[in-house]
Amino acid sequence: MSLTDVQTAHQDIKGSWSYDGKSVFFLRDDREGDERRLQVFQKNLESNLPATICDFALAEEDISPSDFYVSPHTPHFAYMASVGDEKYRVHVYNYSNQTKINEKRTHKGRQSFGGWTKSGFYFFEWADENGDSWKFHEFKFSKEVEDEEGDNVGYFPDLLGCIEETPIVFNRFAKFDNRIQWNNQSFTFLKESEKQGRLRDGTSNGKGGLLCIREWNQSDASEIVEFSLNNEGEMVEDIVVSSEEIKRFVNNSKNTDNLRGEIEGFFLSGKEIIIHINQDGVSQLYRYLLEDNTNSQINLGDIEEKIGAFWIEHISHDENHGILLTVSSFSASQHIWMLPPSDTETKRITEPAMTLELSVIESNEYTPTGMQYFEIIPKTSTNNMDTIIFFHGGPTVQTTNKWDRVISSFLSEGYRVIAPNPQGSIGRGARYAGLDDGEKRHTLIDNEVGPFVKQISNNSKSSNLFMYGGSYGGWLVLSLATSPWGEFVQAGASRNGIGDMITFFNKTSRWRREHRAMEYLGSTEGKTETEIRDLMKKISPFEKGCDDLTCTRLKLFVGTKDSRVPSDSSQIFVNKMNKSYPDVEMHPPFEYEGHKIKRLSNRIETMEKSCQLFKNSKSQS
């Protein structure tokens, strides 16, 4: 098995019920070479025939579907797709008559899917070409037309759900700073002005109200809260599952006060709530009875027996037919299982296309800070093996126990992989996710990531040590390389990483800039332009001198259409460092690729060149 096999193998993702429960729809990689991309497949549960491609909804040339949505009310599905520039479009199809909806409409800019209604769907669209403002539209199938004008809902909007047929939109101003848009009025949902919070995963309570997850900045655990209208038409809230109750689902850290998990998602099923708990990056499901506030864990042992500890990437629920789970693990690629309503034996709907034999899968803690990290070792490795530290992007994401093509590619080549979740990652509660916000990020390398790298380097299991990271993870790679901690690493690869912070901010869209400033710089209120630039320089790898470069073998990969982290940010770093260190190289930018490298040949080339860099660095070390 090679990394090419890993990159080529298909994944089955976003498994979702049809509205009548007779079929399962999902996305699967299809076609050969660079024409290979995700397509919509349908599995008819009333027959034993394999899943078939929905050829009436083939992704258009040079685009690849990403997010996928299936209506619970009507025979429709939708997916988001772009040509690499992140200017996504919403594509909607009627699968009963195999036609595309609203095909003749002229797009006005980037779009985002909102949610289904019983008679259509909601979506967002840029109100201007810069994306500084978005508009909210409703499309009704009966009229084959949407509200052309739409409601202006600010920037970075998302649909939380509906309260008595009224859509509730919120804006993400920063990691933990949301605002609700309701009846065209913007207001904070926070009771205390000094507190910040985040809303996510809204769902109807079946009585005109709305349930969602709420997290308070600097709190240990989330809560499930219900929003509804009182007799005077005012929005009121009620806590359905408290943060203290959520704490009982997860374990505490051995070394700090941080939780070792959090609520990942939930849905209503009759008189109970099914809660998806993230426990150290492993999925667990619980039934929470609303009548007496008791809970019981759902037995998913059949899945664990087949693929080991696993991660649930997507859940689709149908009251009459059961729960669909899209799952994967470090040893098995994404596929779909079904849990019937009676909680009888789980059934595998599709098979994993790729499996790996692993000798070690462990979740550990870095004692000084309580940072959680995974250690994954393939059976082909020796006792004294070459190790790659994999840094995830985000930072508001988490490496979980799921199939990741990059990690799996390294494992297939015999490398031991260490995958840390530094402070600021999600998965351990809001307090942990805020530990690298703003100025705290300025000390992240020296206080946690750097010493951790040194510890891994000194471990008897490590022979040569390398590092790889994308986006935020790429910034970590370049920041380590320009710090004293880089001397412990033989070579590093960055994919779409931030090499120069000033270039990054100068080319960041206005609607995203404030969000990024809150993450990387902290509050800029009252600061002069010079002071703000000084903050950028403080955490910019480019601003370090060539004498500061301690990991001198680096390869940087970028896409020409990346609108999040412009390729210039990497190029300017390479131009400076390459003058003194010729092994700091920029791989020729991938045309038509955006922030993620999606085309098969480019993904393979990125992995092959990274592994080649590591092997060459090993021989020189």
Contact 28, 41 (CB under 8 A): yes
Domain membership of residue 67 (yes or no) is yes
Question: Does residue 420 belong to any structural domain of this protein?
Answer: yes
- Nearest-Å Rg of the Cα atoms of the chain is 24
Q: Which of 253-267, 272-286, 375-389 has the lowest mean pLDDT?
A: 253-267
pTM for the model stands at 0.93
Examine residue 259 and state whether it is found in any structural domain, yes or no: no
How many other CB atoms are found less than 10 A from the CB of residue 338? 19
Whether 386 and 370 have beta carbons less than 8 Å apart is answered as no
Write the CATH number for 147: 2.130.10.120
Kindly give the residue spans of alpha helices, DSSP state H, lying in 460-599: 472-481, 501-506, 510-520, 529-538, 567-577
- Say how many residues make up the chain: 621
Does residue 420 have a cis peptide bond before it, meaning omega lies within 30 degrees of 0? no
pLDDT at position 87 over 90: no
Average pLDDT over residues 513-529: 83
* Residue 102: domain span: 1-153
The CATH number for 614's domain is 3.40.50.1820
Q: What is the C-alpha to C-alpha distance for residues 526 and 506, in angstroms, rounded to an integer? A: 19
Domain presence at residue 192: no
For residue range 177-219, what is the model confidence (pLDDT) as tens digits?
666 666 555 444 444 444 567 888 889 888 888 999 988 877 8
Q: What do you get for the CA distance between the two ends of the chain, in Å?
A: 27
Quote the number of domains for the chain.
2
Sign of CA dihedral 468, 472, 476, 478: positive
What pLDDT, on a 0 to 100 scale, did the predictor assign at position 355? 96
At residue 192, the pLDDT reads: 45
Closest CA to 421 of 475, 374, 470: 374
Q: Last residue of some domain: 121, 153, 185? A: 153
% of residues, the chain, pLDDT over 90: 56
Task: Tell me which DSSP letter residue 368 carries.
Answer: T
CA distance 105 to 98: 18
Q: In one letter, which amino acid is 192?
A: E
The residues that bridge with 335 in the sheet, in sequence order, are 327
pLDDT at position 271 over 50: yes
Determine the pLDDT at residue 601.
Answer: 94
Measured in whole angstroms, how far is the alpha carbon of residue 292 from the centre of its chain?
A: 34
Q: Give the tens place of pLDDT for each residue, 123-152.
A: 998 887 666 688 888 888 887 666 666 777
For residue 225, the model assigns a pLDDT of: 92
Distance CA 210, CA 219 (A): 22
Indicate the residue among 153, 183, 217 that finishes a domain: 153
pLDDT at 528 over 80: yes
Query: What's the distance, CA 365 to chain centroid?
Result: 22
Q: Which CA distances in Å does 488 have to 181, 457, 576?
A: 49, 6, 22
- pLDDT band with cut points at 50, 70 and 90 for residue 300: very high
426 domain-assigned: yes
Band of pLDDT at residue 469, cut at 50, 70 and 90: very high
Confidence of residue 256 (pLDDT cuts 50, 70, 90): low
Strands (E), 414-570: 416-421, 462-470, 491-495, 554-557
235 confidence band (pLDDT: 50, 70, 90) = confident
- Please report the pLDDT score of residue 158 as a whole number: 87
pLDDT value, residue 190? 46
Q: Where are the alpha helices (DSSP H) in 248-381?
A: 301-307
Task: Give the C-alpha separation, 420 to 404, whole Å.
Answer: 14
Tell me: pLDDT of 94 over 70. yes
How do residues 564-615 score in pLDDT, each as one tens digit?
898 999 999 999 999 999 999 999 999 988 888 988 999 999 999 999 999 9
Question: Could you tell me which of 480, 614, 490, 488 has the C-alpha nearest to residue 548?
Answer: 480
Flag whether 134 is in a domain. yes
520 within domain boundaries:
yes
pLDDT band at 493 (very low <50, low <70, confident <90, very high): very high
Distance CA 50, CA 336 (A): 13
- The pLDDT value given to residue 545: 83
In the chain, the amino acid numbered 108 is K
Structure tokens at 43: 């599995």
Residue that terminates a domain, selected from 132, 153, 174: 153
3-class state of residue 184 by DSSP: coil
The per-residue pLDDT of the chain, averaged, comes to 88
- Evaluate whether residue 93 is within a structural domain: yes
